[in-house]
Amino acid sequence: MLFSFLVTLREGVEIALVITILLGYLRSTGQRRYFRAIWLGIGVAAAICLAVGTGLEVASRELDSQVVEGFEGFTMLFAVALLTAMAFWMKRQSRGISAELRAQVDQALGAGSVAALVLLAASSVGREGLETTLFLFAGSTTAGAGVGFVLGGVLGFVVAAFIGIGIYHGSSRIPLKPFFTISGVVVIVLAAGLASNGLAHLHESGLLPNLGARPWDTDALIASTSTLGQFLNTLLGYDSAPALSQIVLYWSYLIVVAAAFLFLPTAAPAARRTPQRTVSSPGRS
Amino acid sequence: MNRIMTALLVCVALFILLGTACSSSGGNGRQVAITQTDDGCTPQSVQAASGEKLTFKIENQGKKDHEFEGVNGTKVPEVEVPAGHTRTVDYTAPKQAGTTQQIKCYIPNGSTTLITVTVGS
């Protein structure tokens, strides 16, 4: 439950931020009549995400359990890669994103095309949405997912929506930078757990025959099948008898990525300041 | 602005409390020992009374990691039993007498045993 809440809260605020920038820009330039195009784009994005999520869920139910393990394992590792990339992207773009989106709105409207605006909203929201879908799917496979998981997810989105409304009306000044830094670290912790679980799933599918020795067994203390064990499993990747490769992957990922995320400097402003640069493609005509 | 961050932190803390409060480690049913070797799992059939709570105590005496999970709708959570380790899993038998349920006990890409649970009256 906490897993899905944290995921949808973080991703929801990202989505809300994108929407507020789009709507806020149209509002400030007196083009409220295009609001509908934005909402239409958001609707399209939501529909696509729901379809993808349903597809993943159906696929994982239809397949043979051992194939599912492999499928889930790969999905988890893919989610880890995507989440890591997005956490860094969000950090780099946290200031540039607004200018970039505005420029894209101008471009869409300059072309006189409402469809382009719908597409812009759909793609910028859809990207975040698909990330959320994948993240939730990867998490739900270990969560013993039930009502709580869904409830946590919905709650996260609701809180994110309120934050979004607050940003739009300027009534609440949410410290976005600390929010994205803290939630970025949370995402990295969740992703480390997913990475370790991903390995376990690949092992269970028979794709990885041996994960190495298992130095300890804490099952008597916190059983993997207990509610607490499953809770800690989704949140921190808890495994009562982790294999050496899981331990190494978990800690090296956590330490390296968290350190890079917290201490690497953000990209130089100059690199960000060139939106809509027409990329010439040499050698292709 | 600090108020919102505080509210968020309180939310998170609440969830953690909820998560831990609901936890129970189980192990309170009638104990049924399952033994795993690299050639399969024993016993292959288990008798249960209507609605009886069982606790499977699964001991992996083989050299390969085993999986233990309910199939075809049997409510047994999937559990991995690493070689040389022991795991316990709770299970509640269905109410209706005569029902049979199946649990799959297997080594990925290796031997598979279907354990049948039969509900008596």
Within 10 Å of residue A165's Cβ, how many Cβ atoms? Answer: 13
* Per-residue pLDDT tens over the stretch B3-39: 666 666 666 666 655 555 444 445 678 999 999 999 9
Contact B19 A172 (CB under 8 A): no
Q: What is the pLDDT of residue B16?
A: 57
From B69, which residue of chain A is nearest by alpha-carbon distance?
A65
Question: What pLDDT, on a 0 to 100 scale, did the predictor assign at position B1?
Answer: 52
At A138 the pLDDT is 87
* pLDDT surpasses 90 at A280: no
DSSP class of A283:
T
Q: Which of B1, B27, B104 sits opposite A173 (nearest CB)?
A: B1
What is the CA B86 to chain-centroid distance, rounded?
Answer: 12
Which residues in A lie closer than 8 A to residue B108 (C-beta atoms)?
Answer: 66, 69, 203-206
Question: Which of A1-15, A77-91, B7-21 has the weakest average pLDDT?
Answer: B7-21
CB contact under 8 A, A206 and B12: no
pLDDT digit string (tens) for B44-92?
999 999 999 999 999 999 999 999 998 888 888 888 999 999 999 989 9
- Give the helix, strand, coil percentages of chain A, each rounded to 5: 75, 0, 25
Residue numbers of B between 22 and 61 with CB closer than 8 Å to A: 22-27
* pLDDT at A173 exceeding the cut of 90: no
B114 neighbourhood in chain A, CB within 8 Å: none
- pLDDT single digits (tens) B101-117: 999 999 998 899 999 99
Contacts of A222 in chain B (CB under 8 A): 25
Q: What DSSP state is assigned to residue A32?
A: G
Per-position DSSP letters for B55-107, written without gaps between them:
EEEEEE-SSS-EEEEEETT-----EEE-TT-EEEEEEE--SSTT-EEEEEEE-
**pLDDT reading at A187 higher than 70:** yes
HEC string of B98-109 equals: CCEEEEEEECCC
Kindly state whether B108 is in contact with chain A, defined as any CB-CB distance less than 8 angstroms: yes
A225/B89 Cβ within 8 A: yes
A163 touches chain B (CB under 8 A): yes
pLDDT band of A119, cuts 50, 70, 90: very high
pTM for the predicted model, two decimal places: 0.81
Give the CA count within 13 Å in the CB-facing half-sphere of B94. Answer: 14
Distance CA A219, CA A230 (A): 12
B19 to A206: CB separation less than 8 angstroms, yes or no: no
pLDDT value at position B26? 54
- Helices A2-28 & B2-21 angle (0-180, nearest 10): 150
pLDDT at A98 > cutoff 60 = yes
Closest to B15 in 3D by CA, of A65, A3, A73: A3
For residue A283, what pLDDT band results from cuts at 50, 70 and 90? very low
Nearest CA distance, A166 vs chain B (angstrom): 11
User: Which residues of chain A make contact with B23, given a CB cutoff of 8 A?
Assistant: 226-229, 231
Segment A242-266 shows an average pLDDT of 93
A60 neighbourhood in chain B, CB within 8 Å: none
Asked if A200 has any chain B CB less than 8 Å from its own CB, the reply is yes
